[in-house]
A and B are shown apart, each in its own frame.
Chain A
Amino acid sequence: GAGVSQSPRYKVAKRGQDVALRCDPISGHVSLFWYQQALGQGPEFLTYFQNEAQLDKSGLPSDRFFAERPEGSVSTLKIQRTQQEDSAVYLCASSLATGRELFFGSGTQLSVL
């Protein structure tokens, strides 16, 4: 596609519910990143894939967060047993190669009630 596509655009979840956020990167982009952006803050790194390999998951805040990219293209970020502090915009970004500029999707705004 022309850009990074994320779905859903908005997600409202009840506390304790599991959610899955989808990211479709730019075709041919090897690297894929997930970022979390809280209100009034900059994006904070969650995890990074190179093709299907998850090379860095040091930013995932707890074991309730899980990301996968099984075929090296589409990625899913899953949050289990959501809590109110998980409310944020989740941004996906891809890049052609490691270290190059990131191209971001519009994000998924998650609200946990």
Chain B
Amino acid sequence: AQSVAQPEDQVNVAEGNPLTVKCTYSVSGNPYLFWYVQYPNRGLQFLLKYITGDNLVKGSYGFEAEFNKSQTSFHLKKPSALVSDSALYFCAVSDPFSGGYNKLIFGAGTRLAVHP
């Protein structure tokens, strides 16, 4: 079955330190990969995506993600965390059988807490 795993329910980081939020996927073919962020009582905001090309993708708010095909991973990173980065982060992959319909398969989410 197609699935996305975010192995950490919560990640705690001190402000100014680098952060990594992990994502691995089990999807056939060459899916598109996405990261979204959700602030309290808000919808999801798009951060970045990988479709093809360079394995390091840069996105909004200083975030980047590294695609690793052999490990089927797409980890989200930021060199220096801010308290305002504290939020819920979702990894998603496109369902390879959905054609052009853009169905997404989501991970369970990882709560990032950045402490001053």
Q: Do A and B bind each other?
A: no
